[in-house]
Amino acid sequence: MAIKLVAIDIDGTLITDTGEITQEVFQAIQEAKQQGVKIVITTGRPMPGVEKYLEELNLKDAGDYVITYNGGLVQETKTGKEFIRYTLTHDDYLEIDALARKLHVHLHTTTNDTIYTSNRDISPYTVHEAFLVNMPLAYRTQEEITEEFEIVKMMMIDEEEILTKVIHSIPDSFKEKFTTVRSAPYYFEILNKKASKGAALIALAEKLGIDISETMAIGDADNDLSMLEAAGTAVAMANATENVKAIADVHTTSNNDSGVAKAIWEVVLG
């Protein structure tokens, strides 16, 4: 069955470790788009951290969509019109913040345009995230994070070993209440229960009149699992986690070796 939509993760998938799109990946995406295949960037990043790649790949035409915040937001790239938006409530914020304090783990909170932290000793991984996704970082006390803040996601962040222990200490009831994904060794993301890359992919495919069996997803990290499970064809990068590799239908080369291009050429355009 022909592939009509390709969902592509950014970090560790679309771009190299130095943040670049190789010429091969650029060419493959342009060829697929010219053949009428929908190319949808599907990422945990907020929109400011995606814009330059949408521009570079010519993915801001009418009818183009992007999935950000791990499925918390789906919108048209040309107009910014939102199709899906799932946020966290103020009560959610207080519950997540209380758990982070109890577990002694760094935490930050992301809205549409700013990353906030209540940690006086700001984690270097929070600073890294702000730089990576091109968003301002601001310190606010818990009391200053009011109900007016529209929170899209929150992230527990710390050294890999520390964060692993923290995740094992989180009650199952908490994980059942929210969507929780480990998007990197030092990032544990917490979102509205309805938000996931997989749910967003299913909803977008339906909106576009594309059967889910006609979709392909390419990823490397555990926050990609839901979209890989949802897609008709799941592609794992060579640098993917073992969880991702285990459920993939297709294995491609690494992000540093134009794995996305090879998957598109072989599966979509081959």
Bridge partners of 82? 75
Would you please indicate which residues are annotated as catalytic (active-site) residues?
9
CA distance 104 to 231: 37
**What CA–CA distance (Å, rounded) separates 184 from 126?**
13
What are the tokens at 176?
């059942």
CA-to-CA distance for 38 and 166, rounded, in angstroms?
Answer: 39
Cα first-last separation, the chain: 12
Neighbours of 237 (CB within 10 A): 28
Cβ atoms of 259 and 238 within 8 Å: the answer is yes
Nearest to residue 81, comparing CAs of 65, 61, 59?
A: 65
- One-letter identity of residue 174: F
